[in-house]
Chain A
Amino acid sequence: MTTRTHEPMPGMGEYRANIDDLRFSDEAKARMAARLAQAAQTQDKEHPMSTKPVASTRRKHRLPLAAAAACLAVALGIGGAAYASGALVSVQRFVDHLFGASEAQVEIVDKVGRPVGVSASSNGVTVTADAIIGDKTNVAVIFSITKDDGSAFEGIEPLDNGLYPLGFAEADVDVDLGLNALAAGLANASWGASGSSYFYDADPSDNAIQLVETRSFSSDAEGGISLVGRTMTAHFSKLTHYTEDGAEPILLADGDWKLTFPLTYEDASVQLPAGQDFDLNGIDATIDELVISPIAVRMAYTADTKAEWADAPSGKAPEEDSTLAYTLLSPSITINMTDGTTVAVDTNGGGSIGNNGDVTNCETNVFFDRILNLDEVASVTIGGTTIEL
């Protein structure tokens, strides 16, 4: 199915005429074709599987020496955080994918993101953890999956939303929170994790496909938990192509991959004052903890209601339970920027709910749909209550 808007673009006729006039001269096209044929032949002979941008003489002049030196420093890992050896997707490209492209956030990206470049190979397929982006309790990781012979995975097409119907038969992505060592302090505490996972193609010009995993961790332990400096372990097996509903899944790669790497980004989170009352979709509630970072918001709160769950068999929660959970875990959150604009946070009904006598303890973590510069955030409005930063 394809979607096409029928609403005309204002000024379309003039725009088409303007853009139609933008074209290369015949001389430029002839020059490009000759250089392209030469470069393609050279590359085929020297580097059959590598990419090498065509070096035009104009490009050599245009790149300043200082910029060239900066690129070298980044490539060597000196004071930069853009790439790591073996990584296919840079931190910045991962940020662009998750939060939309913006070249104005380099300083923030350098804090919240880190290249990883850790790989595991099995049966001719390599899985590489390329980059991580995170804060105190939320982390997103991008993995690239490649066939070692340089060929592409054949026969897989994206769905209408651009994602690929792939999965690992076993996939376990977790962070060692050191809870065993802290067992005494956490004896009466609970903790948990939630997240998402999907496959897409970050660069159609290479043979890799990408897997994005997000995880949000919560705990009611005193002082909470922090992912920063902890070790993440990812364990995958049997890369599988799930075709049409009911059809037999196709095994793409029968391997077993285990990767371990540290979460070395900086936590740029800011904790806001707590204790305020707010309206939780018609229920009185009180903020217990509110933390925002450039990439996400974490909120713990107490709802003045006793969550009554239906007595249903496991895995068959009735609709009323889903509605109650959504009500409790979808607080209205708006970020108010210093320039007067606002950013509505799309709470998605995810998080944890704990019965506590006549009240209910809730916690939710939500990734923003853009990177926020916290220097430009004035306040946060939760269910009609505004908290200054």
Chain B
Amino acid sequence: MRQAAATTARDRADAQAERLVGTYADMILRLSYTYLHSTADAEDICQTVLLRTMTRAPRFSGPEHERAWIIRTTINACKDLLRSAARRTTVSIEAAGEAEAPAMPDGTVADAVARLPRDQREAIHLHYYEGLPITQVARVVGTSEAAVAKRLSRARQTLRHTLGGES
């Protein structure tokens, strides 16, 4: 019985891990790129976020609840990484060469969005790419709807200027 129970638990973990990676890994990669301007740490962030999801998440009321929770946890993981980077006083020579990270996006608009301030990039990505309503963006980033609307407005204005007549 004990062997059977252990096998079942392992099967459940495998199935849940596959589901979470299949459903959310690319979303986490794209969101972390929006924050970090890099894909080098995306795999670590993805692992951290999804492990928390498997071991510490609350009971979700549905897929949207789970998705919103994972978005917030990803944002926090990115901020943690930025903070640890800001506190570093030395740079690893090894850091540059070893990553087998996904290729960075290449394109005029992606570059223009990458140059926006972080809070505006965050709002643009979550609202336009992930399709979250302003109410939900405000909730996951911990600010007011008015602040999100203002960030979106400023970002659009900058993008219009940067991209010229493109729209």
Contact between chains at B86 and A103 (CB < 8 Å)? yes
A43 within 8 A of B: yes
Contact between chains at A22 and B44 (CB < 8 Å)? no
Stretch from A59-67, A123-131, A180-188, A375-383 forming part of the interface with B: A59-67
List, in ascending order, chain A residues with CB within 8 A of B54's CB: 36, 40
A317 within 8 A of B: no
List, in ascending order, chain A residues with CB within 8 A of B127's CB: 5
Contact between chains at B55 and A40 (CB < 8 Å)? yes
Known: A37-B13, A53-B51, A59-B44. A22 touches B105 (CB 8 A): yes
Quote the shortest CB–CB distance from B86 to chain A (angstroms): 4
Known: A14-B107, A15-B109, A67-B84. A39 touches B29 (CB 8 A): no
A160 to B80, CA, bound (A): 26
A11 to B116, CA, bound (A): 14
Contact between chains at B135 and A2 (CB < 8 Å)? yes
Contact between chains at A101 and B79 (CB < 8 Å)? yes
A16 to B30, CA, bound (A): 11
Give me 7 other A-B pairs in contact (C-beta within 8 A), A28-B100, A58-B43, A71-B84 excluded.
A2-B135, A11-B108, A19-B129, A33-B21, A53-B44, A67-B90, A70-B89
Chain A: residues with CB nearer than 8 A to chain B?
Answer: 1-5, 7-12, 14-19, 21-25, 28-29, 32-37, 39-41, 43-44, 49, 51-54, 56, 58-59, 61-64, 66-67, 70-71, 74, 82, 90, 92-93, 96-97, 100-101, 103-104, 106, 152, 158, 160-162, 200, 202-206
Chain B: residues with CB nearer than 8 A to chain A?
Answer: 9-10, 13-14, 16-18, 20-22, 25-26, 29-30, 33, 39-44, 46-48, 50-58, 69, 72-73, 76, 79, 82-92, 94-95, 98-100, 102-110, 112-113, 118-119, 124-125, 127-129, 133-136, 138-139, 142-145, 149, 152, 155-156, 159-160, 163, 166-167
